[in-house]
Chains A and B, each alone.
Chain A
Amino acid sequence: MMQQILNSLTVGAVYSLVTVGYAMVFSVLNMINFAHTDMMMLGAYAGYLVARQGGGLFLQIVVGTTVGAVMSAVVERSVYRRLYDKSPLKLMTSAIAVSVILQYSVMMAFSASPRPYPTGQLSDAVSLFGAKTTELRLFAVGITAVVFTALAFLVAKTKTGLHIRAAAQDSLGAMAVGIDRNKVISLTFLIGGAAAGLAGVMYGNMYLITPLMSGNIGIKAFVCTVAGGKGSLWGAVLGAYLLSFSETAVCTFLGSGYKDAVSFVILIAVLLFNKRSGKQ
């Protein structure tokens, strides 16, 4: 039991890191960024390249986070920005297209086969309340907590955070009082991309990475966003942990074949039965 809880905590940490970018973009743009989790994939592969050259965890994190942030901002600037005032369908189609291009470009470069990171990073086993885990997994939970505390501070206490909140609440009103909407949007993409890149490096250190890994995680992050109440920072964490705990429960009681079905069931249930969600 303790083991399951500990596993869920680690998985939930990765989910929340991915979800936060989703949620922030969602709150300011009302857009499902289908390419968001591809930033995680890019971060994971960047980290993989560093790890293969013998780079330590710190270097992996720096490189992975930077790649995620830069790519996210570049995609926003070069593609999405042209479409903000057009139909939301176009925005989403372009996000799907970007996602497909990124996934298959990476597949061309690295082949489709799943790859493990070279082991050795904080791999010592730790025993906690009778459950086994590794230092790395605890580190993942810890760094997620740090990132979220920093983000919460940014959003709640700084002027930039105020701008983000204003744009999320009413983008037209925010523009009317002189907030540069494009700057706010760029910033959320940058922050979201960085968190996704970090999530990619942590994920890669724990599991196998493939160019198509983002598809499944993408829908999961979207589920967390919707389940956690669309766009709030702590809602994202709540949604992420809701999902990770239910997944672990399903794995334990129904078998791992149905693990990925959990997110879809939650997604459809929330969309259909919560009257407020599902409206733009």
Chain B
Amino acid sequence: MTYTSLILCKISVAVTSALGLYLCTTLCGQLSLGTAGFMSIGAYIFAFFGSAVGVAAAPALLFLVTFPLGFLLLRLSGDYLAAATLGIAELVRICLSNFSAVGGAGGTAVDFRLNPATAVAGTILILFLVFLFSKTKTAHLCRAISMDETASRGCGVNVTFVKSLTFALSCAVCGFAGCLYAGAVGFVCPNDFTFTRSCETLAAVIIGGKNPLAVMLCATALEILSALLVGFAEIKMIVYGTALLLCALRRRNA
């Protein structure tokens, strides 16, 4: 795999995970810091089951697990949800690091590789699906909830159900991003999926704003930036942080 195609794959991964987080955070107003955790689950499922089955099974499995989990988790509001999802992501990472069956902290090689064209096609598919989803009635309910949860409940919206559904969809998309990552890089280890990755995704989503296309462009730009700043990881993170801070301070609807 050439350097350019690896970057292309990484961009697809970043865009896909950002779109996943977009569903939960922008559309529904629920801040999740667990992106990396859900990605790692997808990546590990792909690493062990490979092939087309893995790509389909990982998001489906994540959806099935996180949907009921959402009913429990999304009772929590704002900061607490963020902390709980961060906790789940870190728990997943610690467990993966300690289970020798999945390679422990050293990680594991992935046999089934995806070529860049497949990764890009997968991302475009997700973008299309997210776009479709944002036109559905559920998405409108999500927007209503993100604006005023109590009022939505008062209007008869099944808030918990809608939030859980969106959360599970978001997790499934992040899991899919994990599959793309595993297939493209050919190696997964728990430390590929730290809080830093969740932060990078969050930066793309917050800076991108309300439009999924803008989120896509933003994730792409940030990924290109990090490719240019390879070897200067500190500068990259400082730029991310500054951009995030400026967005929080300046934008009206960040």
Q: What are 12 A-B residue pairs whose CB atoms fall within 8 Å in the complex?
A: A90-B248, A91-B248, A93-B206, A94-B249, A97-B244, A97-B245, A97-B248, A104-B235, A257-B97, A277-B80, A278-B76, A278-B77
- The 9 nearest A-B residue pairs measured at CB: A100-B241, A97-B245, A101-B241, A97-B244, A94-B248, A104-B237, A278-B76, A264-B87, A108-B234
The one of A92, A99, A271 in contact with B31, judged by C-beta atoms closer than 8 angstroms, is: A92
Shortest Cβ distance from residue B162 to the other chain A in the assembled complex, whole angstroms? 18
Complex contact A98–B94 (CB within 8 A): no
Q: Which residues from B are CB-within-8-Å of A101?
A: 237-238, 241-242, 245
Q: Which residues from B are CB-within-8-Å of A94?
A: 244-245, 248-249
Q: A82-B249, A261-B95, A268-B84 are in contact. Are A92 and B234 (CB under 8 A)?
A: no
Q: A264-B94, A280-B77 are in contact. Are A93 and B254 (CB under 8 A)?
A: yes
Indicate if A279 sits at the interface (CB-CB under 8 A): yes
Complex contact A100–B240 (CB within 8 A): yes
Q: Which residues from B are CB-within-8-Å of A108?
A: 234-235, 238
8 Å CB contacts to A: which residues of B53-93? 72-73, 75-80, 82-84, 86-88, 90-91
Q: Which single residue of chain A is at the shortest CB-CB distance from B253?
A: A87
Q: How far is the CA of A263 from the CA of B87 in the complex (A)?
A: 8
8 Å CB contacts to B: which residues of A236-264? 257-258, 260-261, 263-264
Q: Which single residue of chain A is at the shortest CB-CB distance from B198?
A: A96
Q: How far is the CA of A274 from the CA of B208 in the complex (A)?
A: 36
Q: Which single residue of chain A is at the shortest CB-CB distance from B235?
A: A108
Complex contact B94–A271 (CB within 8 A): no
8 Å CB contacts to B: which residues of A67-113? 79, 82-83, 88-94, 96-101, 103-105, 107-108
Complex contact A93–B248 (CB within 8 A): yes
Q: Scoring B residues 112 to 123 as 1 if CB is less than 8 Å from chain A, else 0, what string do you get? A: 000000000000
Shortest Cβ distance from residue B83 to the other chain A in the assembled complex, whole angstroms? 6
Complex contact A261–B94 (CB within 8 A): yes
Q: Which single residue of chain B is at the shortest CB-CB distance from A108?
A: B234
Q: How large is the interface on A (under 10, 10 to 19, 20 to 34, 35 or more residues)?
A: 35 or more
Q: Which residues from B are CB-within-8-Å of A257?
A: 94, 97-98
8 Å CB contacts to A: which residues of B125-179? none
The one of A89, A93, A105 in contact with B238, judged by C-beta atoms closer than 8 angstroms, is: A105
Q: Which residues from B are CB-within-8-Å of A30?
A: 79
Q: How far is the CA of A100 from the CA of B240 in the complex (A)?
A: 8
Q: Which residues from A are CB-within-8-Å of B76?
A: 271, 278
Give me 18 other A-B pairs in contact (C-beta within 8 A), A271-B76, A272-B73 excluded.
A32-B82, A82-B249, A89-B29, A92-B31, A93-B206, A98-B245, A100-B240, A104-B234, A219-B90, A222-B83, A263-B87, A265-B91, A267-B84, A268-B88, A272-B84, A279-B77, A280-B78, A280-B79
The one of A104, A261, A272 in contact with B72, judged by C-beta atoms closer than 8 angstroms, is: A272
Q: Which single residue of chain A is at the shortest CB-CB distance from B94?
A: A261
Shortest Cβ distance from residue A263 to the other chain B in the assembled complex, whole angstroms? 8
Residue picked from A82, A261, A265, most chain B C-beta under 10 Å: A261
The one of A104, A226, A264 in contact with B91, judged by C-beta atoms closer than 8 angstroms, is: A264
Q: Which residues from A are CB-within-8-Å of B98?
A: 257-258
Complex contact B75–A278 (CB within 8 A): yes
Indicate if A229 sits at the interface (CB-CB under 8 A): no
Indicate if A215 sits at the interface (CB-CB under 8 A): yes
8 Å CB contacts to B: which residues of A174-209? none
Indicate if A31 sits at the interface (CB-CB under 8 A): yes
Q: Which residues from A are CB-within-8-Å of B237?
A: 100-101, 103-104
Indicate if B199 sits at the interface (CB-CB under 8 A): yes
Shortest Cβ distance from residue B94 to the other chain A in the assembled complex, whole angstroms? 5
Complex contact A104–B238 (CB within 8 A): yes
Q: Which residues from A are CB-within-8-Å of B78?
A: 88-89, 92, 280
Q: A89-B31, A92-B79 are in contact. Are A97 and B90 (CB under 8 A)?
A: no
Indicate if B195 sits at the interface (CB-CB under 8 A): yes
Q: Which residues from A are CB-within-8-Å of B45?
A: none
Q: Which residues from A are CB-within-8-Å of B75?
A: 278
